[in-house]
Structure 1
């Protein structure tokens, strides 16, 4: 039976891994964007489809930053059923423990799932344009090194997110991207268009990840809005999705 959610083929040869990204068919996944009971119901259905329980998933309080937090079973379920149970502010989680799962929410920002099969370490990263500018990817790779990981062993999936055609920046933000990511930024009529997926790909390679180990989803949250919600296109009414990864 075909699954409702997006899965990275790169992880398919690792039976110990649970991973997936929801789509708009699940409804709203972010607290504060719908009634809590609705969000919990939607999250529970997605967790069930993944073959896990929602209270095994950990969600951070995302702030569009670059902090990566290591977690364990003591944090299991935090942020999954209520916002008051959220972790400290972070835009990425990492663990080597089995039986807990890492979750992040996105709309147009890019979800990144990472696995080190040599050391059995996983991470879930929320990469918005602010996080990319603040080097969230290099920080994530450095965090893996603290677990003994070699960047060359890392398997990385970059999920659905906004494409270059629809990601428009201006003024100071445009100047920053032209300075730091000139090869993925072009200007037309004073507007800048940034390829965030290519920026992440370049950051991953620069951090030592093999290009052959990087899988990037073709979906754009604006172009493929019938499948995924987009904040830029729909505002708050667009359903946010969640990306989850963990070790069984």
Structure 2
């Protein structure tokens, strides 16, 4: 597990493949229920993560490559399918599952509010990061943003796809997600952002759909302590 922020108010980071109970293609800390893994093993893996970060509860999205973002204001709230989630509830860990897409974690220190965003190619083109920050009602200058392991530009071929204004981040048929995210954050006025610059396709600590097709999902997680 890679912990990027751990202070008295917040814990945020990213899981790796390791430390769980799944087997075969999903070995070992697969956190996704939709990829063909044994549901009991996924449930155990989620329990392991819950314990590791001392969360009261984990929130996972049913991710659909959309620009839909919801606020969670109750522990028992049922979350519709979406790709961004926001809360100010302490002890509630927001999780975003990925296997090449970009897991984006946001902390608004002024409002003590957090967000987890699934920003793949489709989400980036639909500006899900901008829409999430708008829904947080945040001043961009108060935000800390972390972008976790994702597929690097050298490994991400998109061929002849039309990405609209984001076509400028395609070179030799390869899309640079990190550069596109950096551009969007700076356009919004976000100064405090960090890329881990780890390629999920190249680094065997992480699941990669492009590399393996049938595989698990690792997660970005963020939680207000308390």
TM-score, scaled relative to structure 2:
0.90
Counterpart selection for 1:40 from 30, 35, 43: 43
Q: What is the deviation of 1:184? A: 2.2
Could you tell me which residue of structure 1 aligns to residue 59 of structure 2?
A: 58
Could you tell me which residue of structure 1 aligns to residue 165 of structure 2?
A: 180
3-state SS of 2:44 partner: helix
Could you tell me which residue of structure 2 aligns to residue 124 of structure 1?
A: 116
Q: Distance in 2 between matches of 1:182 and 1:39?
A: 37
**CA deviation profile, 1:128-170 (whole Å, cap 9, x unmatched):** 100111111110111121xxx2111100000000000111112
Could you tell me which residue of structure 2 aligns to residue 215 of structure 1?
A: 194
Contact in 2 for aligned 1:19/1:50 (Cα 8 Å): no
Q: Distance in 2 between matches of 1:140 and 1:132?
A: 12
Could you tell me which residue of structure 1 aligns to residue 210 of structure 2?
A: 232
Q: Does 1:17 align with 2:10?
A: yes
Counterpart selection for 2:156 from 140, 163, 167: 167
Q: CA RMSD in A?
A: 1.5
Q: Distance in 2 between matches of 1:245 and 1:222?
A: 23
- Which structure 1 residue ranges, 4+ long, deviate > 6 Å from structure 2? none
3-state SS of 1:89 partner: coil
Could you tell me which residue of structure 1 aligns to residue 218 of structure 2?
A: 241
- Aligned pairs for 1:64-79 (under 5 A) are 64-75=65-76
Q: Gapped runs of 5+ residues in structure 2? A: 21-27
Could you tell me which residue of structure 2 aligns to residue 90 of structure 1?
A: 82
**CA deviation profile, 1:35-93 (whole Å, cap 9, x unmatched):** 1101011111122111224xx111121100111100023436x6xxxxxxxx2011010
**Number of matched pairs:** 215
Q: Distance in 2 between matches of 1:203 and 1:141?
A: 11
TM-score, scaled relative to structure 1:
0.82
Contact in 1 for aligned 2:115/2:222 (Cα 8 Å): yes
Q: Distance in 2 between matches of 1:91 and 1:182?
A: 22
Q: Distance in 2 between matches of 1:91 and 1:218?
A: 22
Could you tell me which residue of structure 1 aligns to residue 98 of structure 2?
A: 106
